[in-house]
Amino acid sequence: MPQRIDGSGETIRFTFEGREIAARAGDTIAAALIAAGETATRQSVVSGAPRGPFCMMGVCFECLVEIDGVPNRQACMIEAAPGITVTRQTADEVVA
């Protein structure tokens, strides 16, 4: 399980699948989710299997989530913000 190196930084909170997630200011959504133990961010469109962040640099698209009702957002490229609502991208949502 990945762990943070230090405990400094302002804490912000958002929700993921209804769970409150604490992140540090400047964290990407993917980094905050991994730090919170949430490794599955979407479902495979082929099998429905859980998928999660892999490259953490915007290349693989394994980290797609829905943010405030908008699907197909890359969690590794978007900074966490206070109060946002993040959900897993389900297999029935089409990748644009």
Minimum distance between the CB of residue 36 and ligand FES, rounded to whole angstroms?
Answer: 16
Residues 6-45 interacting with ligand FES (rule: CB under 6 A): 30
Q: What tokens were used for 90? A: 């389900």
Q: CA–CA separation, 41 vs 30, rounded Å?
A: 8
- Is 61 a binding residue for ligand FES by CB under 6 A? The answer is yes
Q: What tokens were used for 88? A: 């897993």
Q: Using the rule CB under 6 A, which residue among 54, 68, 82, 90 binds ligand FES?
A: 54
- List the helix and strand counts (H, then E) for the chain: 1, 7
- Is 74 a binding residue for ligand FES by CB under 6 A? The answer is yes
